[in-house]
Structure 1
Amino acid sequence: MNVLRLTLRQLQIFVAVARCGSTTAASAELALSQSATSSAINELERLLSMPLFERSGKRLLLNDNGRSLQPQALAMLDCAAQIEQMARDGLAQTESLRIGASTTLGNYVVPQLLGQLLGQLHNTSATWHSKVLIGNTKSICNAVAAFELDIGLIEGPSHHARLTATPWLRDELLVVSAQPNPRCLSLNALRDAVWLLREPGSGTREATDQMLLPHLQSYRRSIELGSSQALKQAAAQGLGLTCLSQWVVGDFIASQRLHRVITTLPKMSRQCYFVVHQDKQPTPALLRLMTLAVAFAHAQGGPKTALPTSTNHA
């Protein structure tokens, strides 16, 4: 058997330098001296017989070799972290799960899913830990791609080549306003309206742009806000029209603080997905969550979705 020359510490330092862009910043993050960090990178490049970075002043930028190594290094470090977790807590007794969710799913759907998951964990695991990170779709996908999260529940398609995306729930999007209007609004009226929008990078904004802009061409007057809750409240104050998930505005429509706007636009809905890294080694907790997610979507009237093939063997 060949003796391995690479160490996890070298890969950890490589990943940190790639993320930070310099040995100085990476050494501060890792609590190492700058010289030790530089030496580790130089030794790694020597062992691999190839450069991993382009040097530009004090900046270190990944070259083609480094970009090829980065996902493999991240996958190895993720596996090592799982082994350490097993050693600390005992495989048979502890399950941990890091979940990411884009904003709408995180606020309105994930709590229901977590309730089912934790109900099972209470009966099967002596100890368990779950962490939920809520952000926009882009940030969640980035975190899953970097192995910082085990799974992401997102409100739009993934644009990461290394993520496996499985269709999940469908979400209807509604145009709403503070004032009831029984008449159908024309395209000209919609073009002249003030639109309340999420920031670029959010799944809601991507879906809104895809569904509205082919008809409106542009938003002539708009306000960007960083959360769907803020959009809902702003619309209820009469600041403009907004297009949001049925899950977000359902309570305000029921209480008549918001009203559906009748338009000539086609019915708007979006596909939600759950994403995992294609190199992720699925844990029992991750498989359990994905199985629950598929059953949850089916109970909501969706089709029975198969789990990603990369997880079926585990």
Structure 2
Amino acid sequence: MDVLRLTLRQLQIFVAVARSGTTTAAADEIALSQSATSSAVNELERLLSLHLFDRVGKRLLLNDNGRALLPRALALLDGAAGIEQMSHEGLAQAQSLRIGASTTIGNYVLPKLLARFMSQWAPGAAEPWRSRIAIGNTASICDAVAAFELDVGLIEGSCHQPALTVTPWLQDEMEVVASPANPLAHAGEDKRAPLRALREQVWLVRESGSGTREVTDQALLPHLRAYRRVIELGSSEAIKHAAAENLGVACLSSWVVRDLIEAGRLARVATTLPRIVRQCHVVVHAKKQLTPALRSFIEGALAATPVFGMPG
């Protein structure tokens, strides 16, 4: 059998330099001297007989060879971390999970999933948990899972990362809502708000890259043609409270608006628009090695009620 010349440490240094762009910053990240980091990169290039970076001043930018190596290096390093975790007991595996969720799921669904998962893996455990939970828009969560920075992602929108395995999960209904002070809030089944009136409204929307924004654009713009007046906000929470203050109308998840509707601060707007349902997904890297704890978390998520919410 051929003797392997590459080491995981070399690949770890390569990844650190690829992410930071300089050997100085990478050295700080991995606790090496700058000269040792630079030497490791040069040795890796020598072993592979390939240049991996373009040198631009003090910066090191991945070239075609480096870009081809990066996903393979990330997969190998993640696999090595998984091998190390095999020696840990189940509780230690569970405590080291890195879970990502897009904003609505992170706020309204993930807490219940985590409570169930922790009750299974550590009932009554007193020691602190060290799992990492990342909340962001769909695009950022998918990017982090693709880079092996997260073990699993729970997303509301579509995934555009070819390296990920995408599994359909919960479905969520989107609702058009407004303040009770908005005249459209008084439309009913017998007199729905016409498209003309909806086009004149100020629309409160999420930022580009958000799963909510992607779904609402796809559902609304074919009918509205464009948002004539729009306010873009960075979270669904901000949007629903802005709508409650009568700053405009919004199309948001039923999970998000349920509390303010029940409190009488928001009202559903009856429209002629088609019913809007979005599909949520669980994403993992296709080359991810699943620990028993991670597999259990994913299976628990997939076992949740698949239509419009979670079981109580």
Scaled by the length of structure 1, the TM-score of the pair is: 0.89
**Residue type of the alignment partner of 1:197:** V
1:2 to 2:13 alignment: no
Using the TM superposition, name which of 281-290 and 57-66 deviates more: 57-66
Q: Deviations over 1:89-112 (max 9, x none)?
A: x33552232111111001111111
Match of 1:48 in 2: 48
Match of 2:93 in 1: 95
1:228 to 2:236 alignment: yes
CA RMSD of aligned residues (A): 2.2
1:147 to 2:148 alignment: yes
Match of 2:206 in 1: 198
Secondary structure of 1:164's aligned partner: strand
Shift of 1:218: 1.6
Q: Distance in 2 between matches of 1:107 and 1:143?
A: 19
**Residue type of the alignment partner of 1:173:** M
Q: Following TM superposition, where does structure 1 have runs of at least 4 consecutive aligned residues deviating by more than 4 angstroms?
A: 123-129, 298-302
Partners of 2:75 and 2:287 within 8 A in 1? yes
Partners of 2:172 and 2:309 within 8 A in 1? no
- Summarize the Cα distance change of 1:291–1:255 in structure 2 as closer, same or farther, 3 Å threshold: same
Which gives a bigger RCO, structure 1 or 2 (Cα 8 Å, sep 6+)? 2
Match of 1:284 in 2: 292
Q: Distance in 2 between matches of 1:174 and 1:300?
A: 12
Shift of 1:301: 8.3
1:33 to 2:38 alignment: no
Show structure 1 runs of 5+ residues with no match.
303-314
Match of 1:308 in 2: none
Secondary structure of 2:255's aligned partner: helix
Paired residues in the alignment total 300
Secondary structure of 2:131's aligned partner: strand
Match of 1:181 in 2: 186
Partners of 1:108 and 1:247 within 8 A in 2? yes
- Summarize the Cα distance change of 1:209–1:94 in structure 2 as closer, same or farther, 3 Å threshold: same
Match of 2:225 in 1: 217
Partners of 2:170 and 2:307 within 8 A in 1? no
Using the TM superposition, name which of 9-18 and 58-67 deviates more: 58-67
Q: Distance in 2 between matches of 1:172 and 1:94?
A: 37
Using the TM superposition, name which of 118-127 and 206-215 deviates more: 118-127
Show structure 2 runs of 5+ residues with no match.
none
Secondary structure of 1:263's aligned partner: coil
Partners of 1:94 and 1:125 within 8 A in 2? no
Match of 1:309 in 2: none
Match of 2:250 in 1: 242
Secondary structure of 2:93's aligned partner: strand
Shift of 1:279: 0.5
Percent of matched pairs sharing the same residue:
63
Q: Deviations over 1:16-52 (max 9, x none)?
A: 1111222233223333333222211111011011111
Shift of 1:258: 0.5
Secondary structure of 2:11's aligned partner: helix
Partners of 2:85 and 2:93 within 8 A in 1? no
Q: Distance in 2 between matches of 1:125 and 1:250?
A: 33
**Residue type of the alignment partner of 2:93:** E
Scaled by the length of structure 2, the TM-score of the pair is: 0.90
Secondary structure of 1:281's aligned partner: coil
1:160 to 2:180 alignment: no
Match of 1:310 in 2: none
Using the TM superposition, name which of 58-67 and 9-18 deviates more: 58-67
Secondary structure of 1:286's aligned partner: helix
- Summarize the Cα distance change of 1:298–1:269 in structure 2 as closer, same or farther, 3 Å threshold: closer
Q: Distance in 1 between matches of 2:309 and 2:30?
A: 48
